[in-house]
């Protein structure tokens, strides 16, 4: 089964096309089956078999169900988007914070090691071996010191 969404207007809209008026009347949710039947007879001179009217009402129910499914999908999509966005933002924030903290610590250690090495007249490598440095900071500190000296 295929479902098509037709946007032809709303019941009560002024329209120059009788077919569009008829579709608006058939698919409106503003009128019940009896009112639709009466209007079809008065406005379009169409007598409707109650079975056909029941099918049209079923089509309206199907349209409403389709709209509910679309609304739910949009809500779920928004929730997933918010969650994914939050997760990505949180992860990026953590990564950026870690990188910034690492850069600040490397700069601190390089400045401190350089100052101590100058004061004592020793090599930066010797000073590095004498102070506790977190293992993950050793390679970037060495790289900065090589560039500095």
Summarize pLDDT for 14-31 with one digit per residue, the tens: 667 778 788 777 777 777
CB-count exposure of residue 102 (10 Å: 0-12, 13-18, 19+): middle
pLDDT at position 60: 65
Q: What is the pLDDT, as a whole number, of residue 141?
A: 93
Position 34 pLDDT exceeds 80: no
Domains in the chain, number: 1
Of the chain, the percentage scoring pLDDT greater than 90 comes to: 41
**Residue 5 lies inside a defined structural domain of this protein:** no
Domain assignment present for 117: yes
Those residues whose C-beta lies under 8 Å from the C-beta of residue 107, and which sit 6 or more positions away, are 144
pLDDT at residue 17, as a whole number: 77
Q: Which of 69, 52, 87 is closest to 5 using CA atoms?
A: 69
What value does the mean pLDDT of the chain take?
A: 83
Is the model's pTM score more than 0.85? Answer: no
- Which pLDDT score is estimated for 24? 78
Let me know if residue 10 belongs to a domain.
Answer: no
- Domain span at 59: 49-148
The answer to whether residue 65 sits within a structural domain is yes
The pLDDT of residue 36: 78
Tens digits of per-residue pLDDT, 79-106?
999 999 999 999 999 999 999 999 999 9
Residue 134 within any structural domain of the chain = yes
């Amino acid at each position: 089964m295929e479902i098509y969404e037709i946007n032809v207007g709303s019941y009560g809209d002024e329209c120059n096309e009788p077919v569009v008026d008829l579709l608006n009347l058939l698919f409106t949710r503003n009128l019940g089956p009896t009112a639709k039947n009466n209007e079809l007879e008065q406005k379009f001179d169409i007598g409707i078999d109650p079975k056909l009217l029941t099918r049209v009402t079923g089509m309206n129910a199907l349209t409403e169900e389709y709209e509910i499914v679309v609304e739910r999908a949009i809500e779920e999509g928004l929730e997933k988007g918010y969650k994914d966005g939050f997760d990505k933002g949180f992860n990026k924030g953590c990564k950026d914070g870690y990188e910034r903290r690492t850069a600040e610590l490397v700069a601190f250690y390089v400045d401190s090691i350089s100052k101590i090495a100058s004061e004592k007249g020793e090599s930066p490598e010797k000073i590095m071996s004498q102070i506790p440095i977190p293992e993950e900071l050793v390679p970037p500190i060495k790289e900065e010191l090589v560039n500095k000296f």
